C-alpha cells in the first residue's frame, strides 16, 4: 500500500534526495519549496506520483495551504519530513537581532507550524510519523554555529516531549541527526554574520577543520533515513553517518563524566 509523504525544503540537499529516491517506491510525495520553479523537474519526473506546493515555513498561510493541497491531491498524509532549515554562521556577538530571530523562525517555529497543521490529520487516522531533521549540532556545539546549534537543541527538546505526547495516538516521532555531508549547508544556503577581526584565528581553525573532514554522501544518508523510517519500530534519535554516531557518543560520554565529577558537590543541594 502506497503512503503519502510531505517533505519540506526539497529544492536542494536531503529534501531533494528524498523525493528522488521515493520516486522508485510507488509512494506519493508532496514536495515543497519556497520557489516552485526549483522543484518543477521533480513533478515532471512523475506527475502522477509527485505534487509540488509552494511553502515558506515562516508563512503560516502557506503552511496551511500546502497541507490542504496534500490532502486534496492524495487524500491524506502519512509521513512528514521536516527538512526545511539553514545554518547561520558566525560568532555569537556578530549576529544581528534579525538574523537570530530568522534562524529560529525557520528552524524552530516553521517546523512547529508544519507539525501543528498536520497533527489533526495524524490524530484522526491514529497513525503518522514525524521525521524532524536536527543535526549533530543538536547534541553538541562548536564556535561559529552557536545560534544554529541553539535552534537544533530546541528541535531536539520539543521533539522528545511531542514523541511522548503523541505516542498514545499511534503517532511516531524521530529526530534525525546528520553529521557533515556534501550539501549546500556551507554553500548558498548558509547565512553569514559580519565577522569581527579578533575572531580571525577561530574562523581559520574552523575552516581548516571543516576542509579536513571526510564528508558523507547525501544519497547514502537519505537511503539510511528511508530504511529507518520504513522499520517497524523507528528510534526516537537517529544519528546519520559516522561523524554523527561517534561524535554524539563522545559528547554524551563527556557529559556523563562531567556529571560524575561534580556529583558530590551537586548532592549538597539535596
Position 184 confidence tier, pLDDT thresholds 50, 70, 90: low
Decide if 148 is catalytic.
Answer: yes
Distance CA 228, CA 231 (A): 5
pLDDT at 150: 97
* Number of separate domains in the chain: 1
What would the mean pLDDT of 84-94 be, rounded to a whole number?
94
pLDDT in tens, 64-80: 999 999 999 999 999 99
Position 212 confidence tier, pLDDT thresholds 50, 70, 90: confident
Residue 2 and residue 24 in contact, taking contact as beta carbons nearer than 8 Å: no
pLDDT at 185: 58
Task: Return mean pLDDT, the chain.
Answer: 94
Q: For the domain that residue 117 is a member of, what is the CATH number?
A: 3.40.50.720
Decide if 231 is catalytic.
Answer: no
Q: Is the pLDDT at 183 greater than 70, yes or no?
A: no
For every residue of 190-218, DSSP letters joined together read: -EE----GGGHHHHHHHHHHHHHS-PBPH
Helix (H) or strand (E) holding 163: helix 146-166
Which residue out of 11, 134, 135, 146 is catalytically annotated?
Answer: 134
Decide if 210 is catalytic.
Answer: no
Which residue out of 17, 28, 152, 172 is catalytically annotated?
Answer: 152
Taking the alpha carbons of 33, 34, 35, 36 in that order, is the dihedral positive or negative? Answer: positive
Residue with cell 529534501: 15
Beta bridge partners of 178: 240
What would the mean pLDDT of 205-230 be, rounded to a whole number?
91
| Percent of the chain topping pLDDT 90 | 90
Give burial (CB, 10 Å; 0-12/13-18/19+) of 58: middle
pLDDT in tens, 110-136: 999 999 999 999 999 999 999 999 999
Which residue out of 17, 148, 159, 172 is catalytically annotated?
Answer: 148
Residue range of the domain that includes 215: 4-269
pLDDT in tens, 218-249: 999 999 999 999 999 999 999 999 999 999 99
C-alpha cell at 244: 554523527
pLDDT at 211: 81
What would the mean pLDDT of 183-200 be, rounded to a whole number?
77
Amino acid at each position: 500500500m502506497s503512503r503519502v509523504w510531505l517533505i519540506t525544503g526539497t529544492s536542494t540537499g536531503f529534501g531533494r534526495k528524498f523525493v528522488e529516491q521515493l520516486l522508485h517506491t510507488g509512494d506519493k510525495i508532496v514536495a515543497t519549496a519556497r520557489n516552485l520553479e526549483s522543484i518543477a523537474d521533480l513533478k515532471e519526473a512523475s506527475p502522477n506520483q509527485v505534487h509540488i506546493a509552494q511553502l515558506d515555513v515562516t508563512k503560516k498561510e502557506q503552511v496551511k495551504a500546502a497541507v490542504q493541497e496534500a490532502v486534496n491531491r492524495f487524500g491524506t498524509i502519512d509521513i512528514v519530513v521536516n527538512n526545511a532549515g539553514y545554518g547561520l554562521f558566525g560568532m555569537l556577538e556578530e549576529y544581528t537581532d534579525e538574523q537570530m530571530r530568522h534562524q529560529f523562525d525557520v528552524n524552530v517555529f516553521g517546523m512547529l507550524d508544519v507539525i501543528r497543521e498536520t497533527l489533526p490529520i495524524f490524530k484522526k487516522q491514529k497513525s503518522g510519523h514525524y521525521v524532524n531533521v536536527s543535526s549533530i549540532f543538536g547534541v553538541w556545539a562548536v564556535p561559529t554555529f552557536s545560534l544554529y546549534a541553539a535552534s537544533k537543541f530546541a528541535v531536539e527538546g520539543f521533539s522528545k516531549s511531542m514523541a511522548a505526547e503523541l505516542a498514545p495516538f499511534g503517532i511516531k516521532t524521530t529526530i534525525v541527526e546528520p553529521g557533515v555531508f556534501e550539501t549546500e549547508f556551507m554553500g548558498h544556503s548558509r547565512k553569514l554574520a559580519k565577522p569581527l577581526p579578533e575572531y580571525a584565528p577561530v574562523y581559520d581553525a574552523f575552516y581548516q577543520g571543516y576542509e579536513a573532514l571526510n564528508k558523507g554522501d547525501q544519497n547514502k544518508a537519505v537511503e539510511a533515513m528511508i530504511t529507518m523510517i520504513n522499520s517497524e519500530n523507528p528510534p526516537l534519535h537517529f544519528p546519520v553517518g559516522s561523524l554523527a554516531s561517534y561524535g554524539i557518543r563522545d559528547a554524551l560520554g563527556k557529559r556523563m563524566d562531567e556529571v560524575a565529577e561534580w556529583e558530590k558537590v551537586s548532592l549538597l543541594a539535596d
